[in-house]
Amino acid sequence: MPRRFTLPCDHLRALYEAGATTITLANLYHCNPATIARHLRRCGVVLRTGRFTAKPCDEALLRRMYLDERQPLTQIAAALNVSVSTVGNWRRRLGIPPRRGR
């Protein structure tokens, strides 16, 4: 039989809004992160998304750096402060063809 317990809304909300994750709170209260999320929602807390927000891509800049200036992906990634895989994903999504030879 599952155990039922109540978690203090004020304390739970304060910790979560201070940056604690549902995993951290679950460890603190010895329960499942889904239980914490459910209690937070019952307390009226809007949960943070677990995903990173997508960084927008300046298509003209990417085309210029990649096609016209022929910069390597590593250099483009460093200049735009993203990972090399992000640059590759942008390139494919925008339909920019891969470079072939010189």
pLDDT, tens digit, 9 for 90 and up, residues 12-38: 999 999 999 999 999 999 999 999 999
d(CA 16, CA 46): 10
Domains of the chain, residue spans: 1-51, 59-93
Q: What is the pLDDT of residue 46?
A: 92
Q: What is the pLDDT of residue 54?
A: 78
Q: What is the pLDDT of residue 77?
A: 95
Q: What is the pLDDT of residue 55?
A: 84
The 10s digit of each residue's pLDDT in 44-93 is 999 988 777 778 899 999 999 999 999 999 999 999 999 999 999 999 99
Alpha carbon dihedral 42, 24, 15, 30, in 10-degree steps, equals 60
pTM: 0.53
Report helix, strand and coil shares of the chain as percent, to nearest 5.
Answer: 55, 0, 45
Tokens 């209260």 belong to residue: 29
Q: What is the pLDDT of residue 6?
A: 76
